[in-house]
Amino acid sequence: MHDFTWFGWISNFVNHGNIHLFSAGLISLVILILAFVYQLKLKTIEEELIPEAGFSFKNVIQSVVEFVLNLMEGIIGHDAKKYFPLIGALFIYIFLNNILGLIPGFLPATDNVNTNYACSIIVFLYYNYMGIKAHGLKNYLGHFMGPIIWLAPLMVVIELISHLVRPVSLGVRLFGNIYGDHVVLGIFSDLVPLVVPVIFLFLGLFVSFIQAFVFSLLSTVYIGLAVAHEEH
């Protein structure tokens, strides 16, 4: 029963090898719709200073933005706003993909390591670009050599390995946790179809948030390390 997917039901072209592309496309479309709806609800600057009362769509979006921005400012400082568009988009994208797997008939794009590598490689390229932009190419590459010139050959190798491992680590960590959570939920749904799966649904929701949080946190740390200016 867990092999059934709504995408596969709609078209025979969809299979386990490419379903993550359709899931990613669906979440991208959902994000675009949410952004459009939020844009329609925006008012004048004066009216926006007073938040809406109670629970509302705008309050949820603003709470998410505030949460991610506060997280980034705690690591990078006031310059965090410059890097927020990427990290904020990744957090929302990964979180929505994660919770998609909790809906029967859907598989999350983050259940496929290729999706996660795509996100982590973007982070890898972005933080290196920002590091070069902040320090200049020569100074940025100079950080790979370490403070002692005769240790430079060893430090360069260590630093290169350290940086290359980062996107791999980001992608594998996200894949492992989401895939594992999906498998556990499927097993217990088969064994005890009533009540017990609800517990694992809440656990899955928590895991979905934590993994989006960890991915965003580590990405922010990498950016912070790349753009940080050493004190002399």
Higher pLDDT pick, 65 / 42: 65
Q: What is the pLDDT of residue 15?
A: 78
* Tens-place pLDDT, residues 172-190: 999 998 888 777 776 766 6
pLDDT, tens only, 202-232: 888 899 999 999 999 999 999 999 998 764 3
CA dihedral 122, 128, 132, 133 (to 10 degrees): 40
| Boundaries of every domain in the chain | 6-227
pLDDT over 70 at 192, yes or no: no
More confident residue, 45 or 8: 8
68-83: average pLDDT: 93
